[in-house]
Copies of this chain bind each other. A is one copy, B any other.
Amino acid sequence: MKGKMKRVYLFEEGSAKMRDSLGGKGCNLAEMTNLGLPIPPGFTITCQACNEYNALGKKFPAGLMDDAKAALANVEGKAGKKFGDAGNPLLVSVRSGAPVSMPGMMDTVLNLGLNEKTLQGIIKKTGNERFAYDAYRRFIQMFGDVVLKVEKADFEHILSAKKSERGVKLDTELNAADLRDVAARFKALVEKETGKGFPEEPLEQLELAIHAVFGSWNTPRAVTYRKLNRIPNDLGTAVNVQAMVFGNMGSDSGTGVAFTRNPSTGEKELYGEFLMNAQGEDVVAGIRTPRPISELKKEMPQIYSQFAETAKKLEAHYREMQDLEFTIEKGKLWMLQTRNGKRTAAAAIKIAMDMMKEGVLTKEEALMRVSPEQIDKLLHRQIDPKARPDVVAKGLNASPGAAVGRVYFTADDAAKHGGKGEKVILVSVETTPEDIHGMAASQGILTSRGGMTSHAAVVARGMGIPCVAGCEKLKVDVAKKTATVEGTDAVIHEGDILTIDGGDGRVILGEVPLVDPEMKGEFGELLALADSVSRMHVRANADTPQNAADARKFGAKGIGLCRTERMFNDPARLPIVQEMILAETQEARKAALAKLKPVQKGDFKGILAAMDGLPVIIRLLDPPLHEFLPKLDDLLVEVTTLSLHKGDERVLREKERLLHKVRELSEFNPMLGHRGCRLAIAHPEIYEMQTAAIFEAATELKKEGKNPIAEVMIPLVGNVRELAMLRKLVKKTADGVIAKSGVKLSYMVGTMIEVPRACLTADEIAKEAEFFSFGTNDLTQTTLGFSRDDAEAKFLQLYLKEGILKDNPFEVLDFDGVGKLVEMTVQLGRKARPGIEIGVCGETGGEPRSIDFYHKAGLDYVSCSKYRVPVARLAAAQATIREKLGNVGERKGE
């Protein structure tokens, strides 16, 4: 037989495990009660009752108030007071508390049970008329506001008016008579606004308050918050009813909050503050300055030691740093709340490692206690937390880190001044592949248009340059070399100093002090621990020796993607690249390539040396050739202008020739055009040159006693025959170079998996590929039919807003679509070539939820930009642990 559903639990009937039914607050009060801690008695109405209430059309389920009254009687017994009793009244607090911490719901009503009659009982019992009227006027305001929906401001007006009348400034300067008058005026306000008298009956007050808590679950604000934070709608909220204790009953009373460890640094010390003769809300109001918790030791040594003992007990019990609230009523300590404490990233790491060393946590538990995203913040320069800068505008936090520099509005200017060693901030409407040289020379990038996956954002993150993107209030006039900020009179000129914070999107005029990231001891220890448990390893995407060296410092175990086209884009080399493209014959093309070879070889040598002993996957040329030529639009305007003005005939002819070539190479959909391996099938000499450069570099290093491990990656393969043809070319060239050098060198040839057809025929392709590397950017573009640049500009935001997409698929892998292809590829690939090395080098390779997916799919490694390497190392470890523990979800909030 199914028993009657229990809707009301006394604190002693619950436990921390009943979060789903008692909510976060309720279950912790229950747990503390059962630990024998001094908790004012009370009870909790379950979240399920809230759901019933809403399902019934805002009606209590039958018997709910009877159960509540029974529980209340129990509380009365423990408190030795009676609810509504004129002589010895029990007052209670009523608070909401969902399983997940959720601002947007009704918070708290204190002192419930007060009315004209019980008020007299309080006066009589405390002998403190002012205290009693103060409690009364606070109750009427809170109840009026949160239960009866009377404007809070209207109460504040009355209180201000009273203070003016009395010629005082602070609430504390009002006496008992003043407060009695205020309470009377509050009640009149309520009657005027609601058309009814203020509810005098305590049980009616309680009933109305429960209604209000239940109702607050479905306010628009709460619904929106849940939608944004992906919290299910069917959790419901619990209601906690608890006997009041008062910290404002004299000098032997007080109230405070404390953490069991320092939430900023993670140090193991009680950290918090308290106020004597005060209520909780006084601590928040900031009228009196709270004192550090350590001073309580002098003030009330016994209470302090009881509290410290309790804190220790709770931390040990929960095996987690706790955030505590307490009240001292007439020399007696009461605990009001405990919950897991919020902390900075640095503190999270230190606490996790310390608790592991203390034997409280296993290493797996310690690793699960730090969120990978937190780590990201520790890896970049930041605006000094002590600085109070004037923020003139905010954009998207597109690439983390803060930067200070002089403003330039074009990539050329930025490159020119940056090249001289000047610190530069590139400010632009948006950036294009032609701006790379200017971006690379800048300390930071600020754009007025584009989102988290705009060109500026993606490239900046890849380069590890701070970037604030899509700062829409910024109106940039590149021609005039100025920018203004909408809604302000700020004008930014070329050469002005600007500070930006890519971690939170702040834009600040002038210079603000920055602080360097610190790789503290526990940070390194945590990551080493992560590596020791991870099944996957982490590589970096890096295109320069400097980036390779940095990545290695961040713990990368190799390079998963070295893009060779970024080397082509170097302004010193671009003319040679253009010469190669404009070549009319294969001979002329080969001559230009011969000039490029030594510089590419130099790059490869530097990168391979920096990654000595670790694998470096080098992707041969990928973008369409027109990306290295001037833009068609610009040329059209130039040629039209030159021919109308009858300018220099020779220049015109030259430009026309260039225009002709650009037109010839231009494509309707370059993303799906003549690029990647398709280029090499038309012009094998390009890959030949690149392969020779790679293996000349590697064999020279080998002769120098180093251990270079070069792996050659062919991009955009969709058909095994493409790969077979190019692999043959690469092997012939590489083997020739190696044979000539006389050293021994083994290497792999593999392919990027970035079009759906490669996934669908992965078994065929695996026959020719020694490794696979997912290029999730392009694979997402083709699988979804989204051009990243266009989607970002035209409809991605709308899709996220409308809930069609839950995440930006270029940031978080599209598990249902692209993810299915990833799984299929791994299965087919391993079937055809057991043990084939499979990794990912797209943007999602550094994103924790995606990394968890890649772990489950059976990948060998993920590769990401150097600054994401530590994030990925932790995420990879957590993925392994999660699998081992049978998929433990994210920790629930509180």
Contact = CB atoms under 8 A, between A and B. Distances in A.
Given A668-B670, A802-B681, A785 B754 contact: yes
A337 interface: no
A557 interface: no
Contacts of A657: none
A719 B815 CA distance: 12
A816 B682 contact: no
B674 A795 contact: yes
Interface stretch (A40-48, A423-431, A776-784, A877-885): A776-784
- The oligomer's copy count stands at 2
A831 to B, nearest CB: 15
B804 A681 contact: yes
Contacts of A725: 802, 804
Contacts of A798: 681-682
Interface in A10-40: none
Contact of A785 (B716, B760, B791, B799): B716
Contacts of A791: 672-674
A703 interface: no
A515 interface: no
A754 B784 CA distance: 10
A790 B674 contact: yes
Interface residues on A, range: 35 or more
Given A721-B803, A795-B682, A787 B821 contact: no
A784 B820 CA distance: 17
Contacts of A719: 784, 804-805, 817
A193 B170 CA distance: 126
Contacts of A781: 669, 672
A475 to B, nearest CB: 16
A755 interface: yes
Interface stretch (A355-363, A505-513, A637-645, A694-702): A637-645
A742 B427 CA distance: 61
Interface in A339-394: none
Given A645-B644, A671-B668, A671-B669, A783 B757 contact: yes
A668 B817 contact: no
A113 interface: no
B633 A784 contact: no
A671 B785 CA distance: 8
Interface in A693-718: 716, 718
A781 B668 CA distance: 13
A540 to B, nearest CB: 26
A722 interface: yes
Interface in A730-761: 754-757, 760-761
Nearest to A645: B644
Interface in A799-853: 799, 802-805, 814, 816-818, 820-821
B786 A672 contact: yes
A200 interface: no
A789 interface: yes
A519 interface: no
A268 interface: no
A794 interface: yes
Nearest to A804: B721
B678 A795 contact: yes
A73 interface: no
Contacts of A722: 804
A636 interface: yes
A804 B761 CA distance: 14
A96 to B, nearest CB: 32
Contacts of A818: 757
Q: Which 5 A-B pairs have the closest CB atoms?
A: A669-B787, A755-B785, A672-B787, A757-B817, A674-B794
Interface of A: 632-633, 636-637, 640-641, 644-645, 667-674, 678, 681-682, 716, 718-719, 721-722, 725, 754-757, 760-761, 764, 778, 781-787, 789-791, 794-795, 798-799, 802-805, 814, 816-818, 820-821
Given A670-B790, A719-B784, 11 more contacts: A633-B636, A673-B790, A674-B791, A674-B794, A678-B794, A681-B802, A718-B785, A719-B804, A725-B802, A757-B784, A757-B817
23 contacts: A636-B636, A667-B787, A667-B789, A668-B670, A668-B787, A668-B789, A669-B669, A669-B671, A670-B787, A670-B790, A672-B785, A672-B791, A673-B790, A674-B794, A681-B795, A681-B802, A681-B804, A721-B802, A721-B803, A756-B821, A757-B785, A757-B817, A764-B816
